Amino acid sequence: MSDRALEQTIEALIQQEGLPATYAVTVEQTILPLANHILTLHDTEKRPILVGIHGAQGTGKSTLTLFLREILARHRNCPTASFSLDDIYLTRAERKGLAERVHPLFITRGVPGTHDVALGQAVLDQLRSAGPEDSTPIPSFDKSRDDRVPTSDWPEFSGEAEVILVEGWCLGAQPEDDKALVAPINSLEAEEDPSGIWRTYVNEQLKGEYRDFFNQIDCLVMLNAPSMRCVLEWRSLQEQKLAKRIHGAPEQGGEADRAQGMRIMDDEEVARFIMHYERVTRACLAEMPGRADVLIDVAEDHSLGLPQFRAG
């Protein structure tokens, strides 16, 4: 990397995200080639393109998205917007209603059916049609409160977006064969969804509006986790970091009041939480590597492999 300005941006992001200095090598070997690939795709299509970034919990989707956005926007003259499927979760009140109408497990955010896909589509449509003077509100979800941030506090993207990055753990997931739903795959399904109502509803969502949303993706990038065991360990680590950040916040002004509403999970709760995601995650790990446009293997130590670009 000969561009000193680019180097400074990367150094600042590494420090901001608390990453090891060696992450600069990952940027050079993995993220910059991916950014160049996206630029080539944009130059070929000559329109705003949608890049989907898929990865199980803890694979580094948010970090990859951040670096791509900043590199493209600041150093490649390519205005880039981004949001996460996590940002368009249904509100807690909406999930409560879904849990009462369909199945109690829908109180827990995560699986297809717990997102406001119409909201995500509206954001995409607005970003695609925005002019130089327009602003697009980007939804935001507060996981520590398990609820969506008030609309008035959403960040805004200014101007036209040439690239739109959308990341999410189930992004690009495909429905399973109905026969695969019969046998439960973990204790959560066996004990709390014995008749399969919950998992069948989730699968039906992937056949409907989620499929329509995912079909718009121009380039699907998969961060390929090594195993479900790693996913559980990484998700536990994320929750520990969240707890540390929350508990380290200054207890003054409104902080003390906000802290009372925080919802931090212990390891046992995380294990149950991950069971909600397990079926779709395992299905993606099994079939998505063969069709992703870009495959990036993630090692057990979180390091990223070189991007593998699918021919054609």
Q: pLDDT tens string for the chain (312 positions)? A: 458 999 999 999 999 999 999 999 999 999 999 999 999 999 999 999 999 999 998 899 999 999 999 999 999 999 999 999 999 999 999 999 999 999 999 999 999 999 999 999 999 999 999 999 999 999 999 987 889 999 999 999 999 999 999 999 999 999 999 999 999 999 999 999 999 999 999 999 999 999 999 999 999 999 999 999 999 888 888 777 777 776 665 444 343 333 334 567 788 888 898 999 999 999 999 999 999 999 999 999 889 999 999 986
CB crowding 251-267: b at 16 or more within 10 Å, else e = eeeeeeeeeeebeebee
Count of CB atoms within 10 A of residue 6's CB? 17
Secondary structure element (H or E) that encloses residue 106, with its range: none
Candidates 3.40.50.150, 3.30.1360.120, 3.40.1360.10, 3.40.50.300; CATH matching 4-170+182-298 = 3.40.50.300
> Is residue 111 within 8 Å of 56, Cβ to Cβ?
no
- Half-sphere CA count of 271, side-chain side, radius 13 A: 6
Domain ranges of the chain: 4-170+182-298
